[in-house]
Structure 1
Amino acid sequence: MSTTNSLTMNQPVPASLLDIGAQDLIGKPLDRVEGPLKVTGTALYAAEYRVEDLAYGVLVGAKIGSGKIVSVDADAVKAIPGVIDVVTDYDTFIQVSAQGGETKAPAQGVKTVTYRGEIVAIVLAESFEVARDAAQRLEIVYDEDEGAYDFDASDRKVDSKLPPNNVPAHSSQGDLDAAMADAAVTLDVTYTTPSQNSAAMEPHASTAVWKDGSLTLFGAYQMPTSDSQQLAKALGVSSSKVRIITPYVGGGFGSKLGIAPESVAAAVAAKRLGRPVKAVMARQQVFEATPRRSNTEQRIRLAADAQGRLTGIGHETLASNLEGQDFFEPAGVSTHFMYAGENRTITHDLVRLNWGLAGSMRAPGEAVGMLAVEGAMNELADKMGIDPIELRRRNDPATDPEKDIPYSSRQLTRCLDEGAKAFGWDKRQAKPGSTRDGEWLVGMGMASATRSNVLMESSACVTITPAGTAVVESAMTDIGTGSYTILTQIAGEMLGLPIDRVTTKLGDTAYPPAAGSGGSWGAASSGSAVYLACEMLREKLADAMGVDPEALTLKDGLAIGDNRSVPIGSLVGEGLEATGTIKPGQQEKTFTQASYGAHFAEVGVNAVTGEVRVRRMLGVFAAGRILNAKTARSQCLGGMTFGIGTALTEELIHDPRTGKVVNHDLAEYHVPVNADVPQIEVRFLEERDIHANPIHAKGIGELGISGAGAAIAAAVHDATGIWVRDYPLTLDKLLDQLPAV
């Protein structure tokens, strides 16, 4: 019989059982428990499940950016040997919003096209090759509209009436205009960032199997609990009739938060055919038909007194999205609490374009918002002749400057100071362009990092077997982040079991519901659920042994107490089971919760070609309890690598005449490769956040990207004296300003 241990975070949890565990697993740099499966190719991903009588589906994207479908010549391709059907009548086809929700579906299929590449059909065949050939031959007649494709057009449509997205679209405090007029020093600059694509290694894929009116979907999804609910709504069935199985996900970065077109297409087609259907997006379709990070135009205004203390901050963001979509890139999310300044204006507006759907991508808001804010802080420091670290130190507030509530923990200044010492910041030359290595101009730069901490309702079931092993089950996912390992460590520490005696099962909606992987909430939310389940099991073990829970020690599979030591398997009868559930509460309203860090970068800029090479990087981070030093470091390395791409290479380019994505593959959309990434050092500060959750951990998956690109841009300025406010910093933006050789 299972019992439940539920906790709503209305009060801090000063004492964590992880601090008194005897197994010594928490914080250790343990290898991934699922690593051998992945490196041997035996971990099954969405496109690799073998099912009988499988039909292959290939998606077809629209060839116009705006208009209507007049006709689809399905009969011509259905005459091709091996073609089974062409499905266009998606009675419940939906467009997925950035937050994993959905918009109203067009009746009887996608008749109105809102962006080029929008999925409008799926061609089904007995083999993938035949389906692909037929999909390429499928003729669709369109009635094309003019469309809106140019973000910079003089007549662009700007929507200022938007609902909140993590933060309100518009907020103000005090009088920023007056602060700017009265300030000793001001800065008023505009930064621009391009659209980006998550470009995960694994493309979006789904295999749909119907049986007895219920759907099982083997998919590549980050949040299967909510995804199954979205898919059920799209298909017009009860959520109990949809099961999503996604034990391994080859990266997502936000693009797999909500259901994508291939899942609905595969499910509808499979139901129509009465046989399973697999649909895998081509790489080009991933770029065209899955959520992009919005491009932004950000005006930053800073007002400071003669000592560099901020009296005003303005952060006004213009992003883009489709008509009818409410999601906006929350670029000002960290500006609300990052620095002091009593006069503040933070706004977000949307330009309505017929580009692909804009949605969440790793660190939505901070990833691009901090490029602008941190860039402006570095510019202000340069303008005032103040060290940029000192400027931030002077503006490190004691309490949230807008809400006037305390921080749950905040170690920004310590991150800055320890990073400066470790990086050799004191060797930085005061005058930009004064350090040279042959034809390379060398410079250092820095930027702060922060990422809001979020706790989401999640559950996990933990079972102790008579053999003295444990099984953890949750609909939580592992998208390459280390969830399997971290949850195994928590259960092992709490129950006194070695790693090899704990089995963790994830990514299946048949398991207890979980928030999944997104928003850096995964480890803390699902980890807390496992913790609570194990806390209940510890009480049951203590009761079975006849000792107080506080007097019980669990280690190496033994229960120790009252001068006795027995195998835990002998205390569980036919087995003990408990379910833990964590819920957010008043603590997130009483305290501003975030993780913090500091980035340092050294670059070389070729004085002849303008080429930028990152020579070394350091990130120092404070994110509560570090559950696994190796997986945490890996997350920060990945985030900082993202930062290199953001700063120097990544740019999703839309043709302003048609809306077409012109670089829709990994050959032309340039993510950083090994040659672009130098030796990166990551350091963690010891920290516990008792207001965050019972395991005292905070989110880290998106912290590493936040601010990283701004440190590189500052290093480029230090090397050349050039401020580039238009990301990425490609050589054409430097060449005409470089000093003579």
Structure 2
Amino acid sequence: MTTNVIGKPLPRVDGRAKVTGAARYAADFNQGGQAHAVIVGATVGLGRVTGIETGPVEKMPGVVAVITHRNAPRLPYAPHKSYIDPATGERLHVLQDDHVRFYGQPVAIVVADTLDQAERAAAALRISYAAERPLVDPADPKAQPVVPEAGKQPDARLPADTARGSADSALADAPVKVDEIYEIARENHNPMEPHATVAAWNGNRLTLWSKSQFVVNEQAEIAAVFGLPPENVQVICPFIGGAFGTSLRTWPHVTLAAIAARQVGRPVKLVLTRKQMFFMTGHRPRTLQRMALGATADGKLTSIVHEGTGETSRYEEFMEALTSVTSFLYSTPNVRTRYRLLPLDIGTPNHMRGPGEASGVFALECAVDELSYKLGIDPIDLRRRNEPAIDEGENKPFSSRSLMKCHDLAAERFGWSRRVPEPRSMRDGRLLVGMGVASASYPAFHAPANARARLLPDGTAEVEVAASDMGPGTYTSMTQIAAETLGLPVERVRFSLGRSDYPPAPSHGGSWTMASVGSAIRAACLAVQQEAAKRPQDGRPIEATASAQRDPDVAARFSMHSFGAVFAEVAVDPDVGTIRLRRAMGAYGIGRVVNPRLARSQCIGGMIGGMGMALMERTVLDPRDGRPVNAHMADYLLPVNLDIPQLEAHFVEETDPHVNALGVKGLGEIALVGMAPAIANAVFHATGKRVRSLPIRIEDVLTV
């Protein structure tokens, strides 16, 4: 029987659990007799701890323990690196010495019977420091760029330097050129659900109810930290209240919760405050980029030079794909990219939705827009004139590429033809109106994944994978794949995720969950059908486990990416400089769409994130101590309901038989990638002022 549920806009199968409160997040897994832990962070940005007055705090009501580097267990911190961790450097060894490497670094943890008691005791703990002035500003002349070690390798996924042709000489000879610096502020993820861990020991076995986008890696990381066999650590995370990359790594608070639970002999709950999430769980790194384009008078690109620099901590080298899109998005014989890191006295940055691509595409797409005005060529037409036939960076064909189809579809629906090209030429009453456009791209990643399928005697099926769901609808889309493969109605399939003892899956990030986990579920469902065909129906469950991965020969032959086009309209008040996004539209080529309702929801979420990147989000550090001065929701601005206008997402018809058996590409990341440059380009069209730093502020557009 065929159910034909793939491609249907089904509502979320977990929707009722979420709206009724039945869905349990990490902090909801309260344990009998649990204590509460509160982290005390360093109030200096660099130096050493010289004294901790624990005595008075230990006598406060309800306090069970005060744990510092002086009495914390010496942990083995065995080597462990996932692909999600920086390849170079060593993760923070929490409470293992007196060094302070960044503001807010955990220097103590207070455990008490109640949260109120723990918070009061943590506030009362007195710590003294031998402080030094940290270096926290990438623009400081003392900040010296370094070549990332991982980027030096011949087969580096993110090479530090790439070149084809003679980009610099071609740029010098180009009749028309753009050569500018673009800057993006540090951003913090700020998901609705804070990071939380409940830790409980049973002898030498540890259970963690923990917010994680990568439960099998959290299992492996904590096992390495404590010197345990991985099977002695169980990580449980059935629901995530937003993450955007901040929960990909296993941050020190998880280790602290486990330390505290073992030290006091009770389960311990630890929930980070909103403020602590500004310095303990990563951030989008502040970046500085030089983007130079050379072109002929008729708009053919002759050269691209892209030089990017991103901040990192001194103890790890965080790399992201800042320059990766530049080599293939447009056709040109001469391209040179350079990627450098600036080690600073900060916590290690982390992947944030659209990591690298979102930042790099901002510089590239703004520069293309600038070039279009210099040439007097429509921005879409300029992109069409430079549409490549193949991936010129890797010299191989695209598995599928629908960039210009995306531009055509969105341009028609958006009404691009009504745009008057000259800046400051469109008005709505006294408001200046501008339209902007940008391209978007993100790799169609695929990682090996495993799944287990089980047919029960009552005609229902169970499917299990150690994946995560931070909000895009994983429960629903995977249920659809299983139901269609098994030929069952959706309501007769139960999909489970979020346990490290399920078949292992890759991280829930990088826009590869549908491709990777979905393909594994398909394989497991086919395998259990084959198993059922071999066995008589004797009333026992039938089970099969299978894995899926991309054919390496196919991966070597094709360049695989999603593509998109984003259009934005803004209104700018010329008297006070306020900028309001009035509408935005994206069109995307992502292969097969499993659930259009979920896909559009992902796109809208990504667009809102890009809106925040363009107009609002900026974490500011005090140069004296590295303290985030706006580590709260009053001064760290995010788009709220009143800010969000009409947003539309459309999908072009695209069949890609090469990416995976399902024909799907990733969507979650690309929906953010092109939004910020589209808005920035719209602001220029409205005002005639080119702003090359994000976020764009009132003072950037006011006429001096």
SS at match of 1:509: coil
State the partner residue of 2:16: 36
Give distance in 2, aligned partners of 1:301 and 1:96: 36
Opposite residue 591 of structure 1, the aligned amino acid is F
Task: Answer yes or no: is the 8 Å Cα contact 1:296–1:320 preserved in 2.
Answer: yes
SS at match of 2:142: coil
Opposite residue 543 of structure 2, the aligned amino acid is E
State which of 518, 532, 540 in structure 2 corresponds to 1:527: 518
Give distance in 2, aligned partners of 1:291 and 1:96: 17
Task: Answer yes or no: is the 8 Å Cα contact 1:399–1:406 preserved in 2.
Answer: yes
State which of 407, 410, 419 in structure 2 corresponds to 1:416: 407
Q: Which runs of 5+ in 1 are unaligned?
A: 1-20, 545-569
Deviation at 1:107, TM superposition (A): 8.6
Deviation at 1:541, TM superposition (A): 4.2
Is 1:647 aligned with 2:627? no
Opposite residue 419 of structure 1, the aligned amino acid is A
State the partner residue of 1:120: 107
Opposite residue 575 of structure 1, the aligned amino acid is P
Is 1:669 aligned with 2:631? no
Is 1:156 aligned with 2:143? yes
Overall identity of the aligned pairs, in % = 40
Opposite residue 350 of structure 2, the aligned amino acid is G
State the partner residue of 1:555: none
State which of 556, 560, 563 in structure 2 corresponds to 1:589: 556
Deviation at 1:611, TM superposition (A): 0.5
Give distance in 1, aligned partners of 2:83 and 2:553: 27
Deviation at 1:461, TM superposition (A): 0.3
Give distance in 2, aligned partners of 1:182 and 1:141: 60
Bigger Cα displacement from structure 2, 616-625 vs 69-78 = 69-78
Task: Answer yes or no: is the 8 Å Cα contact 2:531–2:544 preserved in 1.
Answer: no
Is 1:317 aligned with 2:308? yes
State the partner residue of 1:513: 504
SS at match of 2:672: coil
State the partner residue of 2:266: 275
Bigger Cα displacement from structure 2, 578-587 vs 234-243 = 578-587
Task: Answer yes or no: is the 8 Å Cα contact 1:90–1:265 preserved in 2.
Answer: no
Deviation at 1:154, TM superposition (A): 1.8
Counterparts of 1:181-260 in structure 2 under 5 Å? 181-260=172-251
Opposite residue 647 of structure 1, the aligned amino acid is A
State the partner residue of 1:557: none
> Deviations 1:221-248 (Å, cap 9, x if unpaired)?
0010112111111112111111100000
Opposite residue 100 of structure 1, the aligned amino acid is D
State which of 338, 348, 371 in structure 2 corresponds to 1:380: 371
Give distance in 1, aligned partners of 2:377 and 2:173: 20
State which of 543, 546, 555 in structure 2 corresponds to 1:580: 546
Is 1:141 aligned with 2:107? no
Using a 3 Å threshold, how does the CA distance of structure 1 residues 656 and 394 change in structure 2: closer, same or farther? same
Using a 3 Å threshold, how does the CA distance of structure 1 residues 98 and 469 change in structure 2: closer, same or farther? closer
Give distance in 1, aligned partners of 2:245 and 2:538: 41
Using a 3 Å threshold, how does the CA distance of structure 1 residues 506 and 446 change in structure 2: closer, same or farther? same
Task: Answer yes or no: is the 8 Å Cα contact 2:310–2:341 preserved in 1.
Answer: yes
Using a 3 Å threshold, how does the CA distance of structure 1 residues 110 and 486 change in structure 2: closer, same or farther? farther
State which of 417, 423, 431 in structure 1 corresponds to 2:422: 431
Give distance in 1, aligned partners of 2:432 and 2:8: 40
SS at match of 1:328: coil
Task: Answer yes or no: is the 8 Å Cα contact 2:561–2:665 preserved in 1.
Answer: yes
State the partner residue of 1:129: 116
State the partner residue of 2:65: 85
Bigger Cα displacement from structure 2, 458-467 vs 687-696 = 687-696
State the partner residue of 1:556: none
Is 1:458 aligned with 2:438? no
> Deviations 1:4-23 (Å, cap 9, x if unpaired)?
xxxxxxxxxxxxxxxxx720
SS at match of 2:479: helix
Bigger Cα displacement from structure 2, 572-581 vs 113-122 = 572-581
Task: Answer yes or no: is the 8 Å Cα contact 1:475–1:516 preserved in 2.
Answer: no
Task: Answer yes or no: is the 8 Å Cα contact 1:97–1:103 preserved in 2.
Answer: no
Opposite residue 577 of structure 1, the aligned amino acid is E
State the partner residue of 1:99: 84
Deviation at 1:144, TM superposition (A): 0.9
State which of 326, 331, 351 in structure 1 corresponds to 2:342: 351
Is 1:109 aligned with 2:96? yes
State which of 24, 37, 41 in structure 2 corresponds to 1:61: 41
Using a 3 Å threshold, how does the CA distance of structure 1 residues 572 and 472 change in structure 2: closer, same or farther? farther
SS at match of 2:373: helix
Task: Answer yes or no: is the 8 Å Cα contact 2:91–2:316 preserved in 1.
Answer: no
Deviation at 1:30, TM superposition (A): 0.7
Q: Matched residue pairs, number?
A: 692
Task: Answer yes or no: is the 8 Å Cα contact 2:289–2:307 preserved in 1.
Answer: yes
Give distance in 1, aligned partners of 2:390 and 2:81: 38
Is 1:47 aligned with 2:34? no
Give distance in 1, aligned partners of 2:336 and 2:474: 38
Using a 3 Å threshold, how does the CA distance of structure 1 residues 709 and 93 change in structure 2: closer, same or farther? farther
Give distance in 2, aligned partners of 1:505 and 1:572: 25
Give distance in 1, aligned partners of 2:620 and 2:58: 35
Is 1:682 aligned with 2:645? no
Using a 3 Å threshold, how does the CA distance of structure 1 residues 602 and 98 change in structure 2: closer, same or farther? farther
Task: Answer yes or no: is the 8 Å Cα contact 2:2–2:488 preserved in 1.
Answer: no
Task: Answer yes or no: is the 8 Å Cα contact 1:308–1:394 preserved in 2.
Answer: yes
Task: Answer yes or no: is the 8 Å Cα contact 1:46–1:207 preserved in 2.
Answer: yes
Deviation at 1:194, TM superposition (A): 0.3
Deviation at 1:494, TM superposition (A): 0.8
Task: Answer yes or no: is the 8 Å Cα contact 1:334–1:452 preserved in 2.
Answer: no
Give distance in 2, aligned partners of 1:703 and 1:388: 20
Is 1:701 aligned with 2:686? no
Counterparts of 1:621-640 in structure 2 under 5 Å? 621-640=588-607
> Deviations 1:484-537 (Å, cap 9, x if unpaired)?
001100011111111111111100011111113110111111000000011122
Opposite residue 92 of structure 1, the aligned amino acid is L
Using a 3 Å threshold, how does the CA distance of structure 1 residues 606 and 243 change in structure 2: closer, same or farther? same
Task: Answer yes or no: is the 8 Å Cα contact 1:448–1:597 preserved in 2.
Answer: yes
Deviation at 1:542, TM superposition (A): 4.6
Deviation at 1:97, TM superposition (A): 9.4
Is 1:171 aligned with 2:162? yes
Give distance in 2, aligned partners of 1:107 and 1:380: 49
> Deviations 1:579-605 (Å, cap 9, x if unpaired)?
121123232222111101100111100
Task: Answer yes or no: is the 8 Å Cα contact 2:314–2:346 preserved in 1.
Answer: no
Opposite residue 586 of structure 1, the aligned amino acid is D
> Deviations 1:550-604 (Å, cap 9, x if unpaired)?
xxxxxxxxxxxxxxxxxxxx84741211112112323222211110110011110
Per the normalisation by structure 2, the TM-score is 0.96
Deviation at 1:424, TM superposition (A): 0.7
Deviation at 1:186, TM superposition (A): 1.1
State the partner residue of 2:52: 72
Is 1:612 aligned with 2:579? yes
Task: Answer yes or no: is the 8 Å Cα contact 1:648–1:728 preserved in 2.
Answer: yes
SS at match of 2:307: strand
Counterparts of 1:292-311 in structure 2 under 5 Å? 292-311=283-302
Using a 3 Å threshold, how does the CA distance of structure 1 residues 125 and 98 change in structure 2: closer, same or farther? farther
Using a 3 Å threshold, how does the CA distance of structure 1 residues 107 and 711 change in structure 2: closer, same or farther? closer
Opposite residue 211 of structure 2, the aligned amino acid is A
SS at match of 1:667: coil
Give distance in 2, aligned partners of 1:285 and 1:96: 24
Give distance in 2, aligned partners of 1:218 and 1:388: 50
Opposite residue 560 of structure 2, the aligned amino acid is Q
Give distance in 1, aligned partners of 2:91 and 2:192: 30
Give distance in 2, aligned partners of 1:191 and 1:435: 26
Task: Answer yes or no: is the 8 Å Cα contact 2:91–2:315 preserved in 1.
Answer: no
